[in-house]
């Protein structure tokens, strides 16, 4: 499993939470009362398990696969990196299908899927629209899409942000779960997870004082936007036509 | 795993469905928006998994344990049969805690539990009230009870039947999920599962005709209540003070 | 796993050998040079695994599934007993699809299969013809059928016995492997396996003498056909219109 | 598992295919009709499994071990890197024996082996001759060597390339499988696997045109041998005493 | 795993404890300071694991195998029942070698073993002497025998009971661990385990009174030796030439 | 698993041995006769397993967890690196609890532990005193601490080095195992393990001669302390006020 999340390590725990939550909310959305096709992820002996397709094998996707497999589903992961697929093949001991991601492969797989989990996160960029409206129409009635990438625009043409109180809506018979802040559903777990990631930085600030802590740690320093009345965040300075001073220079003075 | 459900083999698939569904609905009830304590069953690396206690290691309980483990929870199963616990220890390769069920053990374990699954089914009898109101008060705020035994009265003093549209209610801060017909949530899977169990009987009726089929199969015959205007179900006949004729006699004539 | 083979426990080791051998010979037949479609059972990361369908979940079928899974295939087992499917679901921890066997299910599944293993053994009866010529025509070009049941006539309409030197032939583009004595391929393993099953009987004969050994063991006695010039096998006696003497009577004298 | 293959990532899928195929062709060669000792890789309960020794724990070796284990064999892997052995110990959860590779260890292990898989690939160099003729003579009659390294000369003194139509020959009673193009046996799977690895390069050429694509990607550029009538491959130029022009220079003009 | 222990179900927990304890005490005896050959059961990557041979695949043997495997050893189990070996093969998913037990097999296997666990328990009979003095002499210096069967005389010719304070002695260079009451080493666990097995009987006596409880339960009744001044245990009565009264008769009066 | 041990790769095998040995010696110390609380690591069905807490998830800690899990214990690992915890979560497929290490977490967990394994190794520095005397007093009577870090001072305030002949002592009712040279207990395995790591260097010295070997390998050269009467180890030279000559200079001359 990739342990970091592009260049945003503090967000890795949130990707883990969202990934593990995705099959759970997807399974719920597949229940009849939630508008789904009434399919149990794991089936029972003699009756088939659900077909879960996960697009993207990064932190979220790998965690989603772990839970979907654990609930008994037939799981397929698509990714454009063979090295990622190899790592997942070893991690899951061959129990997930790993498929090289192409438009043709996605088109083919979502048609038979009961649950599609969109886990394509491109750090700092809008998620690519991998499922178009036309492709959506080929999906089974009552199937479900969980779009983890919704915070970055979603990876489905028909995705739009929803809330924990009204988490789903239906387009062309397909239930969409697009809650923008998924980890909020399990706030207690998310809080502990986030604290674990941020604690070393908090301790550094508390023990060394902010100036020393920022001087010694490039990651903390990169988070400094305004200091002693001066802008230390270059993009903001440029955007507003204001003067910019590098954090290093201010801290050294 | 016990493959039959006491003397009611046609109901085994429904126990399997309910058992596998229990951690799923329990996990959903643990979400903040559903009134739960906001805990993710599997936690994430560095943040603890939820504590799931399953009372009863029969068909429902074993299936519930499979899914709860798969979702990453810490699972404890209680049962009063050591042979059942041994079978589960082998089946789960030591990954569930198997505890001999006593009132003391239940009292101790539910206090720390995030999710309690009541899976104590006594065929043809009311479920024993294993969790009293007093014990409920010791449970954690926002913890969840899924009472699979609700069709037989429930194994919790505070259980009362609910529906898929309003599945939960809260007593003493503990969320109760007591849907009377759990398999209805996944109607498609349940239908296939039930068909598999009943198909041999349906085929016998279709191929042989009802009279021959019932003559040759004691189980089918036991399902005959009224035949040619006569009562063939003794308990009903007695209850209503009506004459009773054994099915065997009628079929032979 | 069922440990015995109907009423023929001495043949169980041969069913185990044939079952474990089936995916191996099937994988070989799938190679291009053998006429198959050139598919690797386990695929590789990014390229899909083969689809293996096993008809029958008894001794042979369960052993075939173990090896097919181990080689990385996607495995589906069909059986008409839900209890058998439940046992397999536990044994393989949900990693095989267990499907209730109906004509419709078989028809549907073999169409997509790369390898079909016929493991339907009805002790003392001809194997049912589960795959008809019409169904064969729907299968993929270069797919393979391994018919373990060939000793009892085979479970495919187009099956006819072959030998280790010419193990396969092609009908409608489908490679048929129908070697009548499969365990002979691994003679060394089969010999040890058979010896293990027969050794207790051999020892009884050697230690007690034949008369005492047969007197004390109903299974050995049932194998006595002719004794002191008299026929002790009733079906043979009847078939040839000869006098019959029960073995018990002869041995007692 | 190492995800790349030295400096030749496009060949990694072929190493994966050859590795997974090795136990399959080895098991086939162990069959009596193929000249082997008649041993089933997995044995059966009560009769021992075959002893498989894999020399080299890289991409091919690790994939070979996965399938050999899955077929039920007792698997030993030798490698000269402790870090490789540690990774394999974790990957296979202790189910393979990992042995530090020395001449003494190889000599000792192949004597008892039923199947030896030579998976020692040194990128761009001849495979070392790890099994000499003298060592071969100590092996069991009917045992099998599958030499994956045959494309680089083979790792056995007695190896010489064979074809899919005549894949094996016998020296000193030991069956040698030395097919030069193993992945051709499963052409369909190999084609998909190779396409997955090359597709990004093909798309770059198609979308950007060859000049832009080669300019932007050092790996593509390294594949350019002749361009606009000039040699851009230095070793070839030197070998033939012809003038050489760096690809960078030609592309920039 | 067999869940009962012949006809003595109350002793099953003690067989479980002794079985799980055997690899632990055996591993300790293999340490240099304890006289063993200084071998770590699981080895480490690159250095071989220890060879553990378990004679007997019943309750003790299966539990011993579970822990020995878990500690990383190479485990072989011998038993004379193929059905037992099949069950173990499924339970351990092929990770233990299952060998049909013959004198030849035992002789061969103990010669290479680092640790031999004697787990041959014949209810109500002396354990067979499976390892003779002559066989002992072929074992490796510093290897270890743990004789679980010591309470019934031991399954080794050289076994004699020892205590927890002096648990081992050496014969012919082989360390013998023959503590007569193994479960006493883990008294806390053993007490809980035994209580679980006896609690239903204790509750019956407490709730119903001894007379009613013994009348209703043949197992409790079988434990009654003296009642109202009369002997109700026939073997004791016979042995001492005293009058015997069946428990049933006394209880009925 | 981290494959190296900070900057000391030759010591990695010793960390592996000590880690795998830790649960074994801890389980022994938990036996009644050794002063422990009489708990079996794995418990038995119906009676709870022991609670094992491992502080530190590096080489030793990960190996300790493998064996503790294998013996059936409930295992918790603490570490201050989320990436380490993620890797362990994948490696153990969720079967260990991974907890972010803080003083609060350690304090809370050791109170309930049966066995604590201190595996916090900071290369080249004294181990931090993670368990104070005050914390020790909260632990259970008869619980056990195995301090793998004792060679670097130990990670417990009350740790002091012991020997294989007297491995344990008791403070505040807690058994301490602090043997300074743990791998010596399994000298045979440790010797092979160490040889594997050092062999490449030994071969280089033997094949190339010392001067050439040291010239070509910075790691060998770093081990040179005195050469041709001159000190080549700077810290020693400084400590004794003696002249220092860099090894590179001497070797080049």
Q: pLDDT of C48-99, one tens digit each?
A: 999 999 999 999 999 999 999 999 999 999 999 999 999 999 999 999 999 9
Partners of chain E (3+ Cβ pairs below 8 A): B, C, D, F
Q: In the structure encoding, which two tokens stand for residue A109, read together?
A: 């797989």
Compute the distance between CA of residue C101 and CA of residue C82 in angstroms, rounded to an integer: 9
Provide the 3-class DSSP secondary structure of residue B147: strand
Q: Which chains border B (3 or more CB–CB pairs < 8 Å)?
A: A, C, E, F
**A4 domain-assigned:** no
Average pLDDT on A197-209 reads: 93
Predicted confidence band of residue D3 (pLDDT cuts 50, 70, 90):
very low
- Nearest Cα to E98, choosing from E144, E42, E57? E57
Residue of E191 and C240 predicted with greater confidence: E191
pLDDT surpasses 90 at E42: yes
pLDDT in tens, B30-60: 999 999 999 999 999 999 999 999 999 999 9
Q: What is the mean pLDDT of residues C23-47?
A: 97
- Print the SS3 string covering B74-128: EEEEEECCHHHHHHHHHHCCCCCEEEECCHHHHHHHHHHCCEEEECCCCCCCCCC
Question: CA-CA-CA-CA torsion for D63, D64, D67, D72, nearest 10 degrees?
Answer: -140
Whether residue D237 sits in one domain with residue D169: no
Give the percent of chain A with pLDDT over 90.
80
- Name which of E3, E66, E91 is nearest B83 (Cβ-Cβ): E3
Q: Indicate if the pLDDT at residue B28 is higher than 80.
A: yes
Assess whether E172 and E216 both reside in one domain: no
Give the whole-angstrom CA distance, residue A194 versus residue B45: 11
**pLDDT given at position F3:** 37
Provide the shortest C-alpha distance from residue B144 to chain A (in Å).
14
Residue E123: band (very low, low, confident or very high) from pLDDT cuts 50, 70, 90:
low
- Strands (DSSP E) along F63-207, which ranges? 74-79, 97-100, 115-118, 144-147, 168-171, 174-177
| pLDDT for residue F250 is more than 50 | yes
Q: Which two tokens stand for residue E242?
A: 């005293």
Tokens matching residue D158: 């007695």
Query: How do residues B143-156 score in pLDDT, each as one tens digit?
Result: 999 999 998 899 99
- Whether residue F7 is predicted with pLDDT greater than 70 in this model: the reply is no
A90: in domain: yes
* Per-residue tokens: D16: 């994966």
Residues of C in Cβ contact (< 8 Å) with A45:
82, 85-86, 88-89, 98
What residues does D116 pair with on adjacent strands?
D53, D145
Number of domains in chain A: 2
Summarize the confidence of residues A147-158 as an average pLDDT. 93
Q: pLDDT (tens digit, 9 = 90+) per residue, D167-181? A: 999 999 999 999 999
In a 3-state reduction of DSSP, which class is residue E56? Answer: coil
Is residue D87 within 8 A of residue D1, CB to CB? The reply is: yes
- Residue B185 CA to residue B188 CA, distance in Å, equals 9
Give me A67's structure tokens.
Answer: 């839970």
Contacts of E237 (CB under 8 A, 6+ apart): E231, E243, E244
Same domain? F160 vs F76: yes
Q: Is residue A17 part of a domain?
A: yes
Average pLDDT over every residue of F75-100 = 97
Asked if residue F218 has pLDDT above 50, the reply is: yes
User: What is the model's pLDDT at position E7?
Assistant: 57
Query: Out of B72, B165, B185, whose CB is closest to A70?
Result: B72
In the predicted structure, residue E4 carries a pLDDT above the cut 60? no
Q: What is the pLDDT of residue B204?
A: 93
The answer to whether residues A163 and A78 belong to one domain is yes
Element (H, E) at B55: strand B51-55
Interface test with C, best of A50, A94, A100 (most C CBs within 10 A): A94
- Taking the CB of residue C142, how many other CB atoms lie within 10 A of it? 20
Please tell me the distance in Å from D144's CA to the nearest CA on chain A: 27
3-state SS assignment for residue C47? strand
Task: Classify residue E197: in a domain, yes or no.
Answer: no
Mutation site for F-interface testing, chosen from E59, E181, E188 by largest number of F Cβ within 10 Å: E188
Q: Which residues pair with C79 in a beta bridge?
A: C100
Provide the token pair at B84: 């059942």
Distance from CA of E118 to the nearest CA of C (A): 21
Q: Decide if B1 is inside a domain.
A: no
Q: Residue F46's pLDDT is what?
A: 97
Q: Which two tokens stand for residue F195?
A: 């040889």
Taking residue A137's Cβ as centre, other Cβ atoms within 10 Å add up to 11
Q: Give the lowest-confidence range in E96-105, E237-246, F74-83.
A: E237-246
Q: Are residues B91 and B172 in the same domain?
A: yes
Please check whether residue D175 is in contact with residue D167, taking contact to mean a CB–CB distance below 8 angstroms.
Answer: no
User: Domain check: are A178 and A208 in the same one?
Assistant: no
Q: Where are the beta strands (DSSP E) in F139-221?
A: 144-147, 168-171, 174-177
Residue C72's region, left for phi above 0, alpha for psi from -120 to 50, else beta, is left
- Point out the domain boundary residue: F150, F185, F220: F185
**Which of F46, F85, F94 comes nearest B46 by C-beta?**
F85
Number of C/E CB contacts below 8 angstroms equals: 19
Task: Answer whether E97 sits within 8 Å of D47, measured CB to CB.
Answer: no
Contacts of A39 in chain B (CB under 8 A): 186, 188-189
- E232 and E108 in a single domain? The answer is no
CA distances from residue C55 to A37, C105, C145, D154 in whole angstroms, order as listed: 29, 10, 11, 41
Instruction: Kindly state whether residues D110 and D222 are assigned to the same domain.
Output: no
pLDDT value, residue C219? 85
> How much is the pLDDT for A11?
86
CATH number (domain holding residue E78): 3.40.50.720
Identify the domain containing residue E156 by its residue range: 9-185
pLDDT for E67: 98
Is residue C5 very low, low, confident or very high in pLDDT (cuts 50, 70, 90)? very low
Q: By CA distance, what is E62's nearest residue in B?
A: B90
* Confidence (pLDDT) at C3: 38
Q: Which residue of C has its CA nearest to D182?
A: C31
Residue F2 has pLDDT above 70, yes or no: no
pLDDT band (50, 70, 90) for residue D125 = confident
Question: Which residue in the set F3, F192, F199 is minimally distant from D86, CB to CB?
Answer: F3
Residue D156's DSSP bridge partners are D131
- Verify whether the Cβ–Cβ distance F16 to E184 is below 8 Å: no
pLDDT at A110 over 80: yes
Digit-coded pLDDT (tens) for A21-36: 999 999 999 999 999 9
The answer to whether residue A101 scores a pLDDT higher than 50 is yes
Does residue E199 belong to any structural domain of this protein? no
Residue D1 binned pLDDT confidence (cut-offs 50, 70, 90): very low
Q: Give the domain-ending residue among C185, C219, C238.
A: C185
Q: Provide mean pLDDT across the span C213-228.
A: 90
- pLDDT at F5 (0 to 100): 46
- The residue among B41, B42, B46, B98 with the most chain F CBs within 10 A of its CB, best to mutate, is B46
Q: Are residues F49 and F139 in the same domain?
A: yes
Query: What is the per-residue pLDDT for D178?
Result: 97
What's the pLDDT band for D122 if we cut at 50, 70, 90?
confident
For residue A63, give every residue at least 6 positions away whose Cβ sits within 8 Å of its Cβ, in sequence order, or none.
A1, A15, A16, A18, A19, A20, B44
Whether A19 is in a domain gets the answer yes
Q: What pLDDT score was predicted for residue F178? A: 97
Strand spans (E) along F97-136:
97-100, 115-118
Per-residue pLDDT, D123: 67
Residue A5 has pLDDT above 70, yes or no: no
Lowest mean pLDDT across A103-112, B137-146, C213-222, F12-21: C213-222
Q: What is the pLDDT of residues E23-32, one digit of tens each?
A: 999 999 999 9
Distances (CA, A) of D20 to B44, D80, F225: 34, 21, 49
| pLDDT band at residue F123 using 50, 70 and 90 as cut-offs | low
Q: How confident is the model at residue B3 (pLDDT cuts 50, 70, 90)?
A: very low
Q: What does the pLDDT average to over A131-151? A: 96
Confidence label for E236 from pLDDT (cuts 50, 70 and 90): confident
For residue A199, list chain F residues with Cβ-Cβ distance below 8 A.
Answer: 100, 102
Residues E41 and E132 in one domain: yes
Residues of B in contact with C100 (CB under 8 A): 192, 196, 199
Instruction: State the Cα–Cα distance between residues F154 and F181, nearest whole angstrom.
Output: 13
Band the pLDDT of E127: cuts 50, 70, 90. confident
> Under an 8 A CB cutoff, do A46 and C100 touch?
yes
- The span from the CA of C44 to the CA of C184, in Å, is 31
Residue with token string 């051998």: C21
> What does the alpha-carbon distance between residue A188 and residue A17 come to, in Å, rounded to a whole number?
11
* E29 and E175 Cβ atoms separated by less than 8 Å: yes
pLDDT of B7 over the 70 cut: no
Q: What percent of chain B has pLDDT over 70?
A: 96
Place of tokens 């233990």: E96
- Is residue D2, in this structure, part of any structural domain at all? no
The whole-number pLDDT of residue D236 equals 85
Q: Within this chain, do residues A137 and A198 fall inside the same structural domain, yes or no?
A: no
CA C105/CA C114 separation, integer angstroms: 16
Question: Stretch B110-124: mean pLDDT, rounded?
Answer: 90
| Domain final residue pick, B132, B151, B185 | B185
Question: Does the beta-carbon distance from C49 to A74 stay under 8 Å?
Answer: no
Contact B9, B197 (CB under 8 A): yes
Instruction: Kindly indicate the confidence band of residue D5, based on its pLDDT and cuts at 50, 70 and 90.
Output: very low
Query: Do B40 and B159 sit in the same domain of this protein?
Result: yes
In this predicted structure, what is the pLDDT of residue E5? Answer: 46
Q: Is D6's pLDDT higher than 60?
A: no
What's the pLDDT score for residue D70?
98
For residue A43, is it left (φ>0), alpha (ψ between -120 and 50) or beta?
A: left
Which pLDDT does position C181 carry in this prediction? 92
What mean pLDDT value characterizes chain A? Answer: 93
Tell which of D90, D103, D108 to mutate to test the F interface (max F CBs under 10 Å).
D90
> What pLDDT is stored for residue F236 in this prediction?
86
Instruction: Answer yes or no: is pLDDT of A114 > 90.
Output: yes
Using CB atoms, pick whichever of E88, E95, E99 lies closest to residue D95: E95
- Model pTM? 0.93
Percent of chain E scoring above 70 in pLDDT: 96
């Amino acid at each position: 499993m990739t342990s970091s999340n592009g260049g945003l390590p503090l967000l890795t725990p949130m990707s883990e939470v969202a990934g593990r939550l995705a099959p759970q909310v997807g399974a719920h959305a597949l229940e009849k009362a939630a508008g789904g096709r009434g399919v149990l992820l794991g089936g029972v002996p003699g009756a088939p398990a659900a077909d879960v397709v996960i697009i993207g094998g990064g932190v979220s996707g790998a965690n989603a696969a772990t839970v979907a497999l654990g609930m008994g589903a037939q799981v397929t992961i698509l990714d454009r990196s063979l090295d990622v697929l190899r790592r997942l093949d070893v991690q899951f001991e061959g129990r997930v299908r790993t498929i090289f991601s192409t438009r043709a492969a996605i088109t083919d797989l979502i048609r038979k899927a009961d649950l599609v989990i969109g886990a394509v996160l491109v750090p700092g960029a809008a998620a690519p629209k991998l499922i178009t409206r036309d492709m959506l129409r080929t999906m089974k009635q009552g199937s479900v899409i969980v779009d983890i990438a919704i915070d970055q625009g979603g990876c489905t043409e028909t995705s739009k942000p929803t809330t924990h109180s009204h988490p789903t809506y239906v387009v062309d018979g397909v239930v969409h779960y697009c809650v923008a802040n998924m980890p909020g559903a399990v706030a207690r777990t998310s809080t502990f997870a986030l604290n674990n990631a941020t604690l070393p930085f908090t301790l550094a600030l508390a023990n060394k004082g902010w100036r020393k802590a920022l001087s010694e740690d490039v990651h903390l320093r990169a988070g400094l936007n305004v200091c002693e009345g001066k802008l230390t965040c270059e993009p903001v300075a440029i955007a507003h036509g204001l003067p910019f001073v590098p954090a290093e220079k201010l801290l050294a003075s």
